[in-house]
Chain A
Amino acid sequence: MTATTEAAAPRTYAAHAQPLWRRVLVTREASIIGLLLAVIAVAMATVPNFDSPLTVTYLLRETAPILLIALPMTLIIITAEIDLSVASVLGLASVVTGLGVQAGWPLPVAMVVAVLVGAMAGAINGALVTVVGLPSLAVTIGTLALFRGIAVGLLGTTAISDFPETWTDLARTNIPGTPVPVVIIAFAVLALGFAVLLHFTPFGRSLYAIGLNKEAAAFSGIDVGRSKFWLFVMSGTVAGFAGVYFTLLYNNARGDNAIGMELQIIAAVLLGGVSIFGGRGALHGVIAGVLLIGTLGSALRLAGVTSDIINVLTGLLLVLSVVSASALSWVHQRRVAALGRRRGRSPGTSS
């Protein structure tokens, strides 16, 4: 490589190496959205009743908690951390809502307290990860059991199901004139907020840097610990809100609500193109990923497929998506390495 002389014309740089259509269409997110549309099209054509409004309503009602919690989960996984305690926080918030109502609080007060309990649970996770410096995988496996234990302990095996009808109806109401439940409005607002935060703010930029190279992020003046702490608080808060919704939707506050949901959420996030190693992923892919799993399940159920077969198919889809992602990145790395060799900078290789 020779030095450019000063007389050389100033360099011009293209903003992108590839044309717009390639950057938009040849992505992981685009392929998941494409797959989702294909599943919808095939199901509409072949599965009886799939196109009925009721199907849409039930599908969105049931996937709403997953959609909600997947938003902060995406940000957490992009920083190469994970929060396995979300379903337990959901259960805890559900129990708190129920106990509040049982104690005679007005429901809105109980709801706010439940969301705050969720935020506190998130803060505990965040503090253990960032202040104490433990890996989030270990911390949140621990708090998964801890929060669930508290939830079940508080309420025992009983359930509370005497919630005011105005509120339980609200959880089941659709936006007038559509088959879409009103909870989707809350989701849309949150999704917009998280999308802007992740993709259009300096904070969002720093999350990708943290996930890809924590050390370089710290050397760039990014407060790695503080950023992660607030992500865990967000995750707890949203899980708390999802807990309140879950309670009202099923008119049922129980300690074991939504057991195992954390794995469905993480699976959908990964299917949506977020790398478990951090630093890669986008929110629209995640939303498509959640809807893809939900739609596929719903269509198969309507077609009379048993739930174990549905599980097998969903699992297969996930495995395939992970395999294809690592296959793609392997190809990419080979290309980068080949480029590096051509530039003659490959230390360690002998002649």
Chain B
Amino acid sequence: MQSDTTSATPALELSRVVKSFGAVVALRSGSLRLHDGSIHALIGENGAGKSTLVKIIAGLYRRDGGEFRLRGEEVDFHSTAQSKANGIAVIYQEPTLFPDLSVVENIFMGRQPTGRLGRIDRAAMRAEATEIFERLGVSIDPDRPTDGLSIADQQIIEIAKAISLDASVLVMDEPTAALSGVEVDRLFSVARSLRDEGRALVFISHRFDEVFDLCDTVTVMRDGAHVDTMPIAETTVDDMVRMMVGRDVTEMFPKLPAEIGEEVLAVDGLTQPGVFHDVSFTVHAGEIVGLAGLVGAGRSEVARAVFGVDPYREGTVHVGGAPLPKGRPRAAMARGLALVPEDRRRQGLVLDLPVTRNITLAVRDRLARFGLIWGSRENESARVWASRLEVKTAALDTESGTLSGGNQQKVVLGKWLATDPKVLIVDEPTRGIDVGTKAEVHRLLSQLAQQGIAILMISSELPEVLGMADRVLVMREGRLTGEFKREQATPEAVMLAATADEEPAR
């Protein structure tokens, strides 16, 4: 259906696109050139800027700079509706359909064909949906409600929606993450038939085998910038991994030498069905253990289970040699465990409370005298930690929600350091904070290790893990798939353990 007149003009072209959120630059120089009749892989680490790029294409974000051309014409989308009207369809990992409406109604949501007297022409809708499903070679009952359909089927419905809109550019953001093998095969055959119809497809995935199986061209991104674009036939997995991580990591964070003492935290055979399986590891006093892996590998869930806010079915957690009861954060805290959670705005802080109340929230029992707590004692304690971490705020009764991200993170760190922990678990300690504060946090973690605190650091940023950790653990799909000493932990080895389907050599 595509009139392939000017094959030299790309279907879609982004060139040096910039996007930042306040102080955080999400995209420094994003480029992507997409041709009709092609499936283009977009790969990169978490935080490389892939999703930001996709959201600019989808019209969810507006770019701050750079060029965005659609069939040679400069465009600037203010809304997703504009992007759709220009023939772009984006299919997300988790489709957003109306669960109570039927498959057909979802496909034609908002633009139902009308017959005489303005009535919705159900027969026409149904006929077109059936025709699309036949073309895609899938069998989904068009009249059933979408509630209860598998994620794979929901994605097919999103694709059907895109086809009925006659979209010429389809972007699939990690569509296979939640799919089984058979479902992936079906999705791929659908994708190939769309390519053969002359449409341009973007495929984002962390799985190299899928990239090689499906795509013809690949673009690698790193740190918010375009690295390289090449035909898939001219590259290898090793090349791609090197391009994804290739950067000098040793000089970024000054890791101070710390004396590694006895074992403080021992996790053995931790299992929660469907979330994580048979996770065992230890952390010693003075040691920083990095826990690497892709988003969704189950790392945060393990941390939360160890701390007691999430359940686990099997396995044990020992702190200082004694077992820790399940599901009791209070008991964990009493034994010297501290967790700086992943989402500081929802889990780490009570945004509406002042800085003081947040810093003292985990030590409120200790601050009480004869069961009573006084504002002056809280202020005293908060002042100590705010100044030690150099929180930038004028007064201690400032609402925490008004601080910048980096300062909020310092408040959370102060809150947990105030508990005088033996084991500190930090989950994405530098996510979304500016570069200066990031370095301060790294220096702080290093100093804490020197003081003999056992640190488990979860991070999706490979350089952070490699720069800080004495030992690196890697998780993939709920299991530990690699363990590396500091010397052995190369970016390539860690990335492979985080993504490869085979058990990597240890």
The answer to whether A219 and B22 touch (CB under 8 A), given A1-B434, A351-B62, is: no
CB pair B368 A345 closer than 8 Å: no
Query: Which chain A residues lie closer than 8 Å to B309 at the CB level?
Result: 218-219
B387 at the interface (CB under 8 A from A): yes
Query: Which chain A residues lie closer than 8 Å to B395 at the CB level?
Result: 13-17
CB pair A344 B23 closer than 8 Å: yes
Instruction: Select which of B346, B361, B397 is within 8 A of A15 by beta carbon.
Output: B397
CB pair B368 A339 closer than 8 Å: no
CB pair B406 A1 closer than 8 Å: yes
The answer to whether A219 and B348 touch (CB under 8 A), given A196-B372, A340-B402, A345-B22, is: yes
Q: Which of A3-11, A60-68, A298-306 lies at the binding interface?
A: A3-11
CB pair A13 B383 closer than 8 Å: yes
The answer to whether A219 and B373 touch (CB under 8 A), given A14-B396, A205-B357, A339-B402, is: no
B387-401 at interface with A (beta carbon < 8 Å): 387, 390-399, 401
Measured CB to CB, the nearest residue on chain A to B343 is A215
CB pair B371 A201 closer than 8 Å: yes
The answer to whether A205 and B387 touch (CB under 8 A), given A3-B437, A216-B350, is: no
A346 at the interface (CB under 8 A from B): yes
A293-351 at interface with B (beta carbon < 8 Å): 336, 339-340, 343-348, 350-351
B322 at the interface (CB under 8 A from A): no
Whole-angstrom distance between the Cβ of B185 and the nearest chain A Cβ: 37
A170 to B309, CA, bound (A): 51
Measured CB to CB, the nearest residue on chain A to B22 is A345
Residue of A10, A208, A209 contacting most chain B CB atoms (<10 Å): A209
B360-419 at interface with A (beta carbon < 8 Å): 360-362, 364-365, 367-368, 371-375, 379, 382-383, 386-387, 390-399, 401-402, 404-406, 415
Residue of A279, A347, A348 contacting most chain B CB atoms (<10 Å): A347
Measured CB to CB, the nearest residue on chain A to B65 is A351
CB pair A219 B61 closer than 8 Å: no
A202 at the interface (CB under 8 A from B): yes
Query: Which chain A residues lie closer than 8 Å to B351 at the CB level?
Result: 212-213
The answer to whether A209 and B350 touch (CB under 8 A), given A3-B440, A221-B329, is: yes
Instruction: Select which of A13, A209, A347, A348 is within 8 A of B361 by beta carbon.
Output: A209
CB pair A217 B350 closer than 8 Å: yes
A2 at the interface (CB under 8 A from B): yes
Question: B288-314 interface mask toward A, CB cutoff 8 Å, 1 = contact, 0 = none?
Answer: 000000000000000000000100000
A39 to B376, CA, bound (A): 36
Whole-angstrom distance between the Cβ of A314 and the nearest chain B Cβ: 30
Query: Which chain A residues lie closer than 8 Å to B330 at the CB level?
Result: 221, 223
CB pair A201 B372 closer than 8 Å: yes
B333 at the interface (CB under 8 A from A): yes
Instruction: Select which of B329, B372, B387 is within 8 A of A200 by beta carbon.
Output: B372
Interface residues on B, range: 35 or more
A2-34 at interface with B (beta carbon < 8 Å): 2-4, 8, 10-17
CB pair A347 B62 closer than 8 Å: no
Measured CB to CB, the nearest residue on chain A to B351 is A213
Instruction: Select which of B332, B368, B406 is within 8 A of A202 by beta carbon.
Output: B368
Measured CB to CB, the nearest residue on chain B to A196 is B372
A206 at the interface (CB under 8 A from B): yes
Measured CB to CB, the nearest residue on chain B to A339 is B402
CB pair B348 A201 closer than 8 Å: no
A87 to B86, CA, bound (A): 61
The answer to whether A13 and B386 touch (CB under 8 A), given A209-B361, A212-B353, A218-B309, is: yes
CB pair A205 B364 closer than 8 Å: yes
Question: B436-480 interface mask toward A, CB cutoff 8 Å, 1 = contact, 0 = none?
Answer: 110110000000000000000000000000000000000000000
Instruction: Select which of B329, B356, B372, B391 is within 8 A of A218 by beta carbon.
Output: B329
Query: Which chain A residues lie closer than 8 Å to B352 at the CB level?
Result: 212-213, 279
B347 at the interface (CB under 8 A from A): yes
Measured CB to CB, the nearest residue on chain B to A10 is B387
Measured CB to CB, the nearest residue on chain A to B21 is A347
Residue ranges of A at the interface with B (Cβ–Cβ < 8 Å): 1-4, 8, 10-17, 196, 200-202, 204-206, 208-209, 212-213, 215-223, 279, 336, 339-340, 343-348, 350-351
8 shortest interchain CB distances as A-B pairs: A3-B436, A17-B395, A350-B62, A202-B364, A345-B22, A347-B21, A344-B22, A221-B329
Residue ranges of B at the interface with A (Cβ–Cβ < 8 Å): 21-23, 61-62, 64, 309, 329-330, 332-333, 339, 341, 346-353, 356-357, 360-362, 364-365, 367-368, 371-375, 379, 382-383, 386-387, 390-399, 401-402, 404-406, 415, 434, 436-437, 439-440
